[in-house]
A and B are shown apart, each in its own frame.
Chain A
């Protein structure tokens, strides 16, 4: 398999994938007040400043809440865990949770960004998307 070489982000504006297969979610930081946003914004909702810089967001966060989704659209195989994860920059991001049993998910658990195969493009090429996985004890950054 040539997964690494063909890794293409499913949404390049939101997920940056590097050649090693790791990645970052992309957001905005307001140069005036320091507020962060996901996804990228054109003006700050806090101070209305328009000097926003694109930033890579941190890769570990805390699960705020979750659900096991058992009915979805045809693109998604059910069941899957869906959660909101809070990051230290002050952004809350939705994503699926992988890498553990559906019964082993709890509010407050630490999760890390994980770049994983996530559907295909129109030509059938594999795309890379993101999920959140339980952070392994002692792994620190999670990337």
Chain B
């Protein structure tokens, strides 16, 4: 079976785009990815488009803009993992031998679709009693504080780190570093989480070009990164209530990915993880086996997760700093890891990085720990 390689990546600026829509943004990212791959657009054989709230046939609207209408195109919805799932589907099409050059796009124009706190689908019993995503993560934060003694100040160091990294990322939604005091004094959203603990409502898109061994040889551009694993799981139903301070879904998905890629947590040089809220970064890196359970808050305090630290987490700024256009997020994480492994990201470069991981998860439904989770392993 062929390996899967990423030869081109593209990403719009993340932020507010009042004069564009999701297909404009997706088209911009896709054209950049094709140009970055240094291929003729006619080489593209199939496309997958991840989005959440952009309506029917968003992917087709993107292809129509860039002259590629007619390709097999699949729109993918998997909550915040939609874009990441589109990459996985693209990689499966390559591994199956069906196609040699496939594009995956993730896009979202969230400012025109959503305001304030994101909630589960209105049909969900938890949404009916007032569940909000910040509220759910706030409850996990409170439980984590109770079990592991994490302080509010320690938690605040995560947005401080991520918005600091975002200040070095020209494509990030937020470009201004913040302090612990600013986090603690920002508007309360769901105790103990404040506004700076939350990822913003963002517009943006990203795209990648993936290829088989054969196509990667033919189109070799010297900047190829191997997608060594692209694992996906959905959340399982609890038969007994389980801990909300550890993520079996993240761990199960990570285990699949590590096994496929033939690596372990110790081999990883950097990770982009789904920090939709400050506490989420804690749960993610511990669920990925990158830090022991209960240890991440002190590790952050010691600078271990900084660019230049033992294991940089979210050097792009993460969802909190770079922004979180739902469908765009999972693809943008992969774009960041690819650029890091190629050594293209200037003053936020993780020196000598050879192996990177992108972790994305999203969605909430009653009785399950999480809806969709992806872990992708990239190797240079």
Cβ-neighbour of A91 out of B128, B141, B241 (below 8 A): B241
Within 8 A of B (CB), among A57-98: 64-73, 76, 80, 82-84, 86, 90-92, 94-96
Q: In the docked arrangement, what's the CA distance between A102 and B190, Å?
A: 12
Within 8 A of A (CB), among B200-238: 236-238
User: Which single residue of chain A is at the shortest CB-CB distance from B117?
Assistant: A71
Is residue B255 contacting chain A, with contact meaning CB distance below 8 A? no
User: Hey, which chain A residues are within 8 Å of B56, CB to CB?
Assistant: none
Q: In the docked arrangement, what's the CA distance between A83 and B48, Å?
A: 38
User: Which single residue of chain A is at the shortest CB-CB distance from B128?
Assistant: A11
Asked if B241 contacts A76 (CB within 8 A), the reply is no
Cβ-neighbour of A71 out of B116, B143, B366, B367 (below 8 A): B116
User: Hey, which chain A residues are within 8 Å of B248, CB to CB?
Assistant: none
Is residue B68 contacting chain A, with contact meaning CB distance below 8 A? no
Cβ-neighbour of B125 out of A39, A45, A70, A84 (below 8 A): A39
The contact size tier of chain B is 35 or more
Asked if A107 contacts B239 (CB within 8 A), the reply is no
Interface string of B173-199 (1 = CB under 8 A from A): 000000000000001111111000000
Besides the known contacts A65-B142, A67-B193, A72-B117, 13 further A-B residue pairs in the complex with CB atoms under 8 A apart: A35-B239, A39-B125, A44-B239, A45-B237, A67-B191, A69-B130, A70-B188, A71-B190, A73-B119, A82-B135, A86-B241, A94-B131, A107-B142
24 A-B pairs within 8 Å (CB atoms) are namely: A35-B239, A37-B237, A41-B237, A45-B239, A64-B143, A66-B142, A67-B135, A67-B138, A67-B141, A67-B142, A68-B191, A69-B130, A69-B134, A70-B188, A71-B116, A71-B132, A71-B187, A71-B189, A72-B116, A72-B135, A82-B130, A82-B135, A84-B139, A129-B129
Q: Which 6 residue pairs across A and B have the least CB separation, nearest first? A: A45-B237, A67-B138, A92-B241, A65-B143, A46-B239, A68-B191
| B residues adjacent to A (C-beta < 8 A) | 116-117, 119, 125-126, 128-132, 134-135, 138-143, 146, 187-193, 236-241, 244, 366-367
